[in-house]
Amino acid sequence: MSKHKRPEVDARLSKIEGHVRAIRKMIQEDRTYPEIVHQVAAVRASLDGVIEVIVDDLIEDCAASAKKGNFISDTVLELQQVVASIR
């Protein structure tokens, strides 16, 4: 199982959690809907960034395993499952 970029994935999710909390504060402060939606769209883009990091990690793992002559079928399966989730 690929793990190399897990700390980066967690750091990004931590920022996203804080971002969502900040949007809730905007609601309490009666900020306009366009301002709120702008931030919601930014969080959505950040989630796409998390998925990109995970896909990168799996691809790098796949390449490293192949270089060592190891089986890559498990990592390829993980990649296929990831792609199926985001379609």
Q: Which residues bind a second copy (CB under 8 A)?
A: 1-3, 6, 9-10, 13-14, 16-17, 20-21, 23-24, 27-28, 30, 32-34, 36-38, 40-41, 43-44, 47-48, 50-51, 54, 57-58, 78, 81-82, 85-86
73 vs 81, which CB is nearer to a second copy? 81
Query: Rounded CA gap, 82 and 60, in Å?
Result: 15
CA 6 to chain centre: 10
Token pair for residue 84?
Answer: 């199926």
69 vs 87, which CB is nearer to a second copy? 87
The 10 Å Cβ neighbour count of residue 26 is 15
